[in-house]
Structure 1
């Protein structure tokens, strides 16, 4: 969370590429005490460093992708970030069924090292270079991204014009975002981020195995593997449909599916004292799979896109970035949800999550898209 809070400032000062390098170094340094931990303090220190690095990446990577991608492809490419996260989670879930946690921690350093090496060969964000008056580097970076044979003259002029307009306009005060003309965009963007987390996704992810065991499975391994294998392809489908079907239809389908999934899980736990053990297990498995499949289709990635597409004028670009950091409050709530999830699991209080997910469904019905 701390890494995410300072990520915008760090990325603006040292650039997107260097910010990613810093985050990789924090992650690598963090994994080492976890691998060689002798007591809980080593583990906590390692998690602190890894958490800071991941928090930094959570802002910088989507921004970098959005800044180097043509507008017509931006939605799908930005969602690829979520797709890769799901791919990593899937891979980690599968490895976790057969490997010890120290071995998993060692494997966790490999993507960091690979990305650190890959960053040596990619250019800095052209828009950041243009905004820091590095004209020659800006054009060189853009040409490298688009290809040597591509005519970038029009795009260069567009970026220069945008940068000039942005720098000439006065800095907006973040309180101005709460004026009536901007309030809807702010509520939609931040609200979707809140609903994304308050739906219990973090708790379900962390306690998937425990949920299946509580539902009557001998172990959570089979259900966890099914969960992991479904998440990745459904996120891919969402990325493909992002710019074709629009944000609102995908959000409606996604929110409806998550509600249905959690209703099935709730019913399975209401059958806890009955003799229908097979039905209870089936409902729990079906509910979790419907939940994660539906979430991955839309609610997982679209709120991040909506935050970047919120209808806020250029003079409030700085405020737009600050408003993006309001979702850090959401991550705080996600942390609280994870802490109390085991208690809720013990007392079968899944109706709370159904109630929370009914709210975004009602709000999304009123959401009319971003215009892109």
Structure 2
């Protein structure tokens, strides 16, 4: 946990960072540092990452010094454990320019979700695309939905389909541009910009590459192709597309909705297309699966330490555009497909913030409904809160 975090002037117009951190129990970190991102996502981490042992007593970390081009930057504490980079709230910012004095911004007012360094890496089940992120490069910050860096949409936007109540829209992407909006999305699973990464779930048969993510004709395209790809010493027979809002936007409670055209295998849903949310500390923080195509069906789940209850909707949800939504509130998640309630889960519901994920996955165990190549198209993603 972060007790304090600040930047200060150093000689020759440079800046350095200081953080005070502690853990709920003794844990050895492979590296501890303060990471920095520019407004366009560039990596400007402070030098001086070091191995550290944390305990209940506060540990002070001071980075090396470096200069920054003129601009505004976000910074946060990051650490490496079990060969995986992770980040901690809060996310702050400073401005570099003619003056070397940083201008900090307040800690986001929503409740942050620090990831405890002592949390072991989970082993997700093959039935759901979840897991603790496995990072191969520098980490990404995780501001909450009320952070000033979180994109928002006008409060006059339409309400979620079929979900009653008074809503205000807090996030949206209509994918009407010519490229992915980097202020809202990352185009791989916890990797550096442009990197090909491992999948979230070890049961998947594809790596993820930004080259398979595109925006055109008013839609996000997540393209799955057959192309053997080796990442982290493992070769996957396919490469596909994935986007996440981790480090850009995350939310506690609300209505989450996406209009999606999933790949089809006859009248069944092909492959493992998914629209889901995940917390920073899986499964403790929870995982909310709005949609995942499993064995040809459109299914929903909620995973936490209490288990992974869920079900699959009757009817056909492939071969055309369909709206997949969920209302997450204290103690329950209710699922809506094309505006009709298809299920509800009331056990094991968590309250930690989660970020958005869409991915066009494939599972070799579902060979009867697998189709390659396949394009998962997304018309929009919208989030509302009361």
With the length of structure 2 as denominator, give the TM-score of the two structures.
Answer: 0.26
Q: Select the structure of larger CA radius of gyration.
A: 1
Could you say which structure has the greater relative contact order, defined with CA pairs below 8 angstroms and 6 or more residues apart? 1
| Structure in which a larger fraction of residues adopt helix | 1
| Structure in which a larger fraction of residues adopt strand | 2
